[in-house]
Structure 1
Amino acid sequence: MSGDGAVRSRRAPGAPRGHWWQGLFQGLQKMGRSLQLPIAVLPAAGILNRLGQPDVFGAQGLGWDAVAKVFAAAGGALLDSSLGLPLLFCIGVAIGMARKADGSTALAAVTGFLAYYAVLHAFPLDCDGAARFTGAGVWSGVCVTPDGTTVTQASYQNPGVFGGIVMGLLTAWLWRRFHRVKLVDWLGFFNGRRLVPIVMAFVGLLVASLSVWVWQPIGDGLTDFSKWLVDAGAWGSGIFGVANRGLLVFGLHQFLNTFVWFQFGDYTKPDGTVVHGDVNRFLAGDPTAGQFTTGFFPIMMFALPAAALAIYHCAKPSRRKAVGGLMLSVALTSFVTGVTEPIEYSFLFVAPLLYAIHAVLTGVSMFVSWQLGAKDGFSFSAGLIDYVINWGLATKPWLLIPIGLAFAVVYYTVFRVLITKLDLPTPGREPDDPDDPGTQEEQTVTGDTRP
């Protein structure tokens, strides 16, 4: 047998190799799904943080200052841009990206992250040579002048959520590589799953040491990009809206969301704490936040439910009842919770033109809402729950209702006209199946008995 034949015979039994970019794309999709796990915690964080605000349980509300402090502390811990959020994303990504992950995966992620966090906090940025730094472990330190007369809070390199994601990815990769490793007999106690947290402690140390030296230019680059997007005003908001819906098609929108909502921008709270990201800044009381969240409310609460109504009205008579139940369910889900994927996926693949229009109109809503001065935000998504809870933190939240009603009219009209004129196969308008009892019923109703 020739050499070429031998090669062919060896490759034949195996599955065909895909392109490298296919594996990369699948990995990014898996990564996007992994990011949803820590994001699912945010509703609890948002509610706790909101209840701790002065106008709810605090001095300007019920006057229960001690109770307000409890809720604010709990919610603030989860939303903390330095420890809470990065740790949540680290654990979520580690569990989501590791095959057959278990509790040891989460333990390894926490171990590595705490080592990483503590090393970062051992190197403050603003303690000059005339001051000494005091602080140890994961606790924030201070800069003290030699005579002890001036004490200032030290600041540190803060890769934030990005650092948490990196540590989560490293945990998942190392767990998959070492969780079945067996050491020599006298080290047998540290075999497999017990080995990974030990390895991650050293990995966290190395990543933090590297971050101390290289993060500054990376952070400056991200800051410049976020500044450009923020300075673009309503146009920046609109660009983000279109990109957000466009990336949803590939399951990659959480990449964009994570950095814009939890990393970009900063706001210093009255107590001196600095928070990052559009969502965190809004929940912390930043009156300028909400640029990348406000315009979603009209779409999720009004426009997409109107699109669902148009799909229902365009369904065939025999299927309208079944489609109506489905569309009512997904419309209520979108309106109340802001979860829109059930509606969007109902027409994304069968009528991609509608989805392209939806992505553009989402950008228009983001542009219009911000241009008119409305500023609102959410902890989970732009549904009724977040709209009501965060009313007191928002600027002109009432304005989102007429904007939403206007977009509802636009969505209903555009969807209904295009579905009927172009005969788009949205739910309830699929091609007839002779074996489908519903099709036979429709033929009886309409008098159409053609085979």
Structure 2
Amino acid sequence: MMKKIQRFGAAMFTPVLFFAFYGLTVGLSLLFTNSDILGSIANKGTAWYNFWYVVQQGSWTVFNQLPLLFVIGLPIGLAKKAQARACLETLVIYLTFNYFVNAILTLSGSTFGVNFNLSPGVTNGVSSGLAMIAGIKTLDTGMLGAILIAGITVYLHDKFFEKRLPAYLGIFQGSVFVAAIGFVVMIPTALAICLIWPKVQGGMGSLQGFLSSSGVIGVWIYTFLERILIPTGLHHFIYAPFTLGPAVVPDGIVAYWAKHLPDFATSTKSLKEMFPAGGFALTGHSKVFGCLGIALAIYATAKPEKKKIVAGLLIPATLTAMLSGVTEPLEFTFLFVAPALFAVHAVLAATLAATEYAFGVSGYFCDGLINWFALNWLPLFKYHPFTYITQIIIGLCFTAIYFFVFRFLILKFNFATPGREAEDEETKLYTKADYKAKQGAAVENKREVVEGSQALQFLQALGGSENIDDVTNCATRLRVSVKDESKLAPDSVFKKAGAHGVVRKGKAIQVIVGLSVPQVREEFEGLLGSE
């Protein structure tokens, strides 16, 4: 069960990765069409305004079509075979499902407690519970509906895609057969959703009110769980209902914040008052301020003769965390040697977010500084300068707290963080230059590229293709299920191949690769197929 849950959590990253670029373009386009900041050049009707208006409309693509994005994207990570076919099948079945819901509610919406005559979306702050999906008026099931249908379709795909039918029915094999079974399955599924989902929407409304009023305590608990569960991969199930689903605001925090940014940018009201749900989007504070303090503590406690090589590891990892919000390259440098430090990190991260919220900081701060500038500071600083000054002051105070706490614990308990290993242990911290040197040498001979590839080295270290049961990935980790964990090579072999580390939980193995993991996984699967 844990393996399936982790696989699902990893699949969530496939569509989520689009948020970084599209969120950035949304923020920039809103900034460049704000005449309060740029003056008359940004007035409606100017060539400058028209250009950025076009850019802005394209930037809404991901946020306006989130359910479709997840329906198509999830099978890439979930399906065990023919993922491209699974994506097409899921789209067809999802659309079929929504047409069934539309038909049922058109005929007897009142029977299910749904006023199907209302307009989709939110009117005067009140959600109708309806949405338009690919031109279909249907129940607003959001990400949960998309995930449900994608999960059902992938199950049908893995079970029936390779099913052989009699020759005279050959035209119905493969994707058509999966879609036909899905068509039948979607009729009771649509009926069940019509019965259940309106009640779920009512419960969501109550949950939104509770969490919005839970204040600092709720923010602390949420942030702590989101951090502490990262090693298990289960943190996706904490943040997804908040950032991508309607747990606290319609459409999720990501889409809601982006769509209402023009309103926040022209109001002097407190951001916390206008957007109390922003307390659940402050997890990026530990990525910027916390990771800086952690890196400084690790560097300060390293042995003098190893400080340069430790800096080679920490500088790119810390910049990655602070700029993009991807923390795993840094966090996993100390997670394996000192798990207790990770627990302390989770506590401090939760305390930092709760403190910021208590002092009025709100907004969309789930990622790194690029996100902060584009979607918060630049468009909103004119009307909310005190909020952001307060944010920076509190953040830097916590950088100091992180530094002194981590430094004290590392020295007190003699944790073997990078640069503090025993003399007989190899200290090999791979930098970007090392990677480029290795890649450059490999290019000299095409055969060497194949035989010396990172994916092949990982495959060999994992016991070969015959020992692989399943493979997927998240943002930075290659997740592999093996048949016999005793066949795995030591961690040092993985590190020589460029891994940041390895997490071993029985037959569930996580190889910490970095941001290039999608390419590594694709090559890894290609090697499995070729063998």
* TM-score range relative to shorter protein: 0.7 to 0.9
Cα distance 1:236–1:125, how it changes in 2: closer, same or farther (>3 A)?
farther
State the Cα distance separating 1:133 from its structure 2 match: 7.0
| TM-score, L = length of structure 2 | 0.66
Alignment match of 2:407 (pick from 402, 416, 434) = 416
Is 1:33 paired with 2:10? yes
Is 1:115 paired with 2:90? no
Q: C-alpha separation between the residues in 1 aligned to 2:236 and 2:395?
A: 24
Is 1:296 paired with 2:255? no
Q: Is the 8 A contact 2:296 2:403 kept in 1?
A: yes
Q: Is the 8 A contact 1:49 1:72 kept in 2?
A: yes
Q: Give the 3-state SS of the residue equivalent to 1:377 in structure 2.
A: coil
Q: C-alpha separation between the residues in 2 aligned to 1:112 and 1:39?
A: 22
Q: Give the 3-state SS of the residue equivalent to 2:33 in structure 1.
A: coil
Alignment match of 2:259 (pick from 284, 287, 292) = 284
1:383 corresponds to which residue? 368
Is 1:42 paired with 2:24? no
Q: Give the 3-state SS of the residue equivalent to 1:276 in structure 2.
A: coil
Q: C-alpha separation between the residues in 1 aligned to 2:418 and 2:193?
A: 50
Q: C-alpha separation between the residues in 2 aligned to 1:26 and 1:43?
A: 27
1:19 corresponds to which residue? none
Q: Is the 8 A contact 1:112 1:203 kept in 2?
A: no
Q: Is the 8 A contact 1:57 1:67 kept in 2?
A: no
Identity within the alignment, %:
29
Is 1:89 paired with 2:73? no
Count of matched residue positions in the alignment of Structure 1 and Structure 2: 387
Taking the TM superposition and a 5 Å limit, the aligned residue runs for 1:247-266 are 247-264=229-246
2:517 corresponds to which residue? none
Q: Looking at CA atoms only, which structure, 1 or 2, has the larger radius of gyration?
A: 1
Q: C-alpha separation between the residues in 1 aligned to 2:277 and 2:254?
A: 7
Q: Is the 8 A contact 1:98 1:172 kept in 2?
A: yes
Taking the TM superposition and a 5 Å limit, the aligned residue runs for 1:29-428 are 29-53=6-30, 55-57=31-33, 61=38, 62-63=42-43, 64-80=48-64, 84-122=65-103, 123=105, 156-264=138-246, 275-285=250-260, 287-378=274-365, 381-390=366-375, 391=377, 392-393=379-380, 395=384, 396-428=387-419
Superposition CA RMSD, Å? 3.1
Q: C-alpha separation between the residues in 2 aligned to 1:436 and 1:79?
A: 44
Q: C-alpha separation between the residues in 1 aligned to 2:225 and 2:142?
A: 23
Cα distance 1:51–1:319, how it changes in 2: closer, same or farther (>3 A)?
closer
Which amino acid is the alignment partner of residue 101 of structure 2? L
Which amino acid is the alignment partner of residue 183 of structure 1? L
Q: Give the 3-state SS of the residue equivalent to 2:389 in structure 1.
A: helix
Q: C-alpha separation between the residues in 2 aligned to 1:279 and 1:290?
A: 11
Which amino acid is the alignment partner of residue 292 of structure 2? P
Q: Is the 8 A contact 2:96 2:186 kept in 1?
A: yes
Q: Give the 3-state SS of the residue equivalent to 1:284 in structure 2.
A: helix
Cα distance 1:113–1:434, how it changes in 2: closer, same or farther (>3 A)?
closer
Which amino acid is the alignment partner of residue 397 of structure 1? Y
State the Cα distance separating 1:358 from its structure 2 match: 0.8
Cα distance 1:72–1:319, how it changes in 2: closer, same or farther (>3 A)?
same
Q: Give the 3-state SS of the residue equivalent to 2:12 in structure 1.
A: helix
Cα distance 1:350–1:242, how it changes in 2: closer, same or farther (>3 A)?
same
Q: Is the 8 A contact 1:298 1:407 kept in 2?
A: no
Taking the TM superposition and a 5 Å limit, the aligned residue runs for 1:16-31 are 24-31=1-8
Structure 2's unaligned 5+ residue stretches are 122-127, 132-137, 265-273, 430-531
Q: Is the 8 A contact 2:24 2:374 kept in 1?
A: yes
Q: Is the 8 A contact 1:266 1:277 kept in 2?
A: yes
Larger displacement relative to structure 2 (57-66 or 369-378): 57-66
Which amino acid is the alignment partner of residue 374 of structure 2? I
Q: C-alpha separation between the residues in 1 aligned to 2:129 and 2:299?
A: 59
Q: C-alpha separation between the residues in 2 aligned to 1:112 and 1:191?
A: 16
Q: Is the 8 A contact 2:302 2:310 kept in 1?
A: yes
Larger displacement relative to structure 2 (404-413 or 315-324): 315-324
Q: Is the 8 A contact 1:374 1:397 kept in 2?
A: yes
Larger displacement relative to structure 2 (221-230 or 231-240): 221-230
Q: C-alpha separation between the residues in 2 aligned to 1:73 and 1:224?
A: 33
State the Cα distance separating 1:126 from its structure 2 match: 11
Q: Give the 3-state SS of the residue equivalent to 2:367 in structure 1.
A: coil
Cα distance 1:195–1:66, how it changes in 2: closer, same or farther (>3 A)?
farther
